Amino acid sequence: MKAPILEISYLIASVSFVIGLKRMSNAKTARNGNLLAAAGMTIAILATIILHEGPVPPLIYGLIGLALLLGSVLGWFTARKVAMTKMPELVSLFNGMGGACAALISLIEYPHISPGAGILISVLAGLMIGTVSFSGSMIAFAKLNGTLGKAIRLPFYNIINSLMLVAMLVLCGLMLWDAEFNNMINLYILLGMSVVYGILFVIPIGGADMPVVISLLNSFTGLAAAFGGFLYGNKAMLTGGILVGSAGTLLTIVMCKAMNRPLSNVIFGAFGGGSGSGSSDGSEKGSIKDISVGDLAVLMNYSKKVIIVPGYGLAVAQAQHVIHEIEELLESRGVEVKYAIHPVAGRMPGHMNVLLAESNVDYGKLAEMEEVNPEFASTNVVLVVGANDVVNPAARNDTSSPIYGMPILDVDHAEHVIVNKRSMNAGYAGIDNALFYDPKTSMLFGDAKKVLTELATELKSL
């Protein structure tokens, strides 16, 4: 009697995952979508524990309860306390934990699999992909929080990575088809090789490519979880893994398209770790000019159209609430205000969307790159807050630039461009920005929250 109820519970959970993911595609319904998917996962977990066939020692139930309690408390407080600037690191960390779980499932279940059983493919694939996702995510985490700085490129690293991957696949093949190789020693060898490959896979990729890497590793974790679903015949686990894997893959493709670069170029020729070209002090590019907060307030107050370009600097300063206040002040004066969102702005896909949603910015005011680029020519003022590489004209004009060919926001087509930065340091890609030396550009130096608060005060006094 338990089995049909369990299957129905898994079906309900799977449907909630699909509907929840659909609702997450819209900012207005994303919160409810997330809660719905979480409710589905809760149903799947409780049904698995309560409706399990066969005797289970009370100690096992106690250990499961303790693990659920510790994981829930730790996850809740971590997510509640994390700053918006640290959200990409948190995503990488959680994603790595998912990969580690998939790998642990394979390690635990391998001794119970009969030699030559077809399900062995799921075990080996789950171990390899889950471990690569875990170690790769940990390297991505270290890069995002600054523990690892520039990309580390070993000599002939492409050849080394390719040989390592081939060796892993050959070992998997031998374990599948030759009983002599099907043992725990080779399984641990595969585990070690997967850890090393995950590190070698991510460590040469530069910081500017991190949004793509996060999406790709996310798809790896989903795929590993799907193999776990095959292993257990668990429909909810299979559905969840497929959704995560496919969503991560599609997002990776979108990110690569936004950067006008094939995935192979990101993996084998990332630009994010270089030192860049040109100087960061303006000595070789030309002169820069400053603008005061008071002058900017007057300029924006008498504009017809203002476009705000948010970047990682806005998140660092936690200035999203102030920028929303400025938006409302300008609109009360009859100024049209929009936000231009580049697909890879920030440190992870959708970072700016989440940041602005936190300050209750109307989602309809967020314009995607393809939609907003034609509007810059008719815009009076563009305010760039903490963004750098996504507005760098070198992507269009400088064939020697590492980011040449990457689609950018055409802010330099506007009448006036104001760039708020703390200093003239290069962006995440490590290259200088020609926009800063454009005659139409004025620099507004200082912490974004402090400067924007002063700007809001000036606007109120006009």
Sheet holding 366-368, edge to edge: 366-368, 336-341, 305-310, 381-385, 416-421, 441-445
Q: Active site includes 389?
A: yes
Confidence of residue 149 (pLDDT cuts 50, 70, 90): low
pLDDT band for 116, please (50, 70, 90 cuts). Answer: low
Supply the DSSP symbol for 393.
T
In this prediction, residues 255-261 reach a mean pLDDT of 73
Residue 382: strand pairing partners: 307, 417
CATH architecture of 293-461: 3-Layer(aba) Sandwich (3.40)
Selected catalytic residue, list 389, 410, 412, 432: 389
Summarised one tens digit per residue, pLDDT across range 20-31 is 999 987 767 888
Tell me the mean pLDDT in the region 1-11.
87
Specify which residues 441 forms β-bridges with.
417
Q: Given its phi and psi angles, is residue 286 left (phi above 0), alpha (psi -120 to 50 degrees) or beta?
A: left
**Which is higher by pLDDT, 394 or 453?**
453
State the pLDDT at residue 459: 93
- Of the listed ranges 135-144, 253-262, 319-328, 399-408, the one predicted with least confidence: 253-262
- Report how far residue 408's alpha carbon sits from residue 383's, in angstroms, rounded to the nearest whole number: 15
Burial class (CB in 10 A: 0-12, 13-18, 19+), 108: exposed
Cα 409 to Cα 142, 339, 426: the distances in Å are 29, 11, 18
Predicted local distance difference test score (pLDDT) of residue 243: 94
The letter for the amino acid at 390 is V
pLDDT recorded at residue 291: 92
Rounded Cα gap, residues 100 and 96, in angstroms? 6
pTM over 0.95: no
Report residue 292's pLDDT band, with 50, 70 and 90 as the boundaries: very high
Neighbours of 294 (CB within 10 A): 13
Between helix 235-258 and helix 210-232 the angle, nearest 10°, is 160
Q: What is the pLDDT at residue 117?
A: 67
Q: What is the rounded distance in angstroms from the CA atom of residue 460 to the CA atom of residue 294?
A: 11
Q: Cα separation of 357 and 291, whole Å?
A: 29
User: Lowest-pLDDT range, 63-67, 143-147, 296-300, 436-440?
Assistant: 143-147
pLDDT at res. 279: 41
**Distance (Å, rounded) from C-alpha 33 to C-alpha 247?**
15
Q: What per-residue confidence (pLDDT) applies to 419?
A: 93
Contact 433, 388 (CB under 8 A): yes
Residue 270 has pLDDT above 80, yes or no: no
Tell me which residue of 341, 337, 365, 364 sits closest to 352, measured CA to CA. 341
Least confident range from 11-15, 36-40, 100-104, 405-409: namely 405-409
